[in-house]
Amino acid sequence: MALSMDWAFPQLTKVYKQQPELVETAVQQMLQMTPDLTWSLVISAYQDEEINLGKAASLLDMHELELRDQFIFR
């Protein structure tokens, strides 16, 4: 079933406020299945200065120096 993201994301935010466990479980499963999405989300949060490099590395299960190297190669 394909959902329109135009309305799905705002509704997901609304459901999260009412049932956070449900949405957190679904998002965790999605991130485990799509490592590229996990990378993109973490790096975006880092670039927006929402998290620091150490936290980004930790979320990506790598050492901070390894993450710095990844920035050079990507």
Tens digits of per-residue pLDDT, 21-54?
A: 999 999 999 999 999 999 999 999 999 999 999 9
Scanning the chain, the segments in alpha helix (DSSP H) are 5-18, 20-33, 35-47, 53-59, 64-73
d(CA 18, CA 36): 28
Q: What is the pTM of this model?
A: 0.78
| The predicted structure's pLDDT at residue 57 | 97
Domain boundaries along the sequence of the chain: 31-74
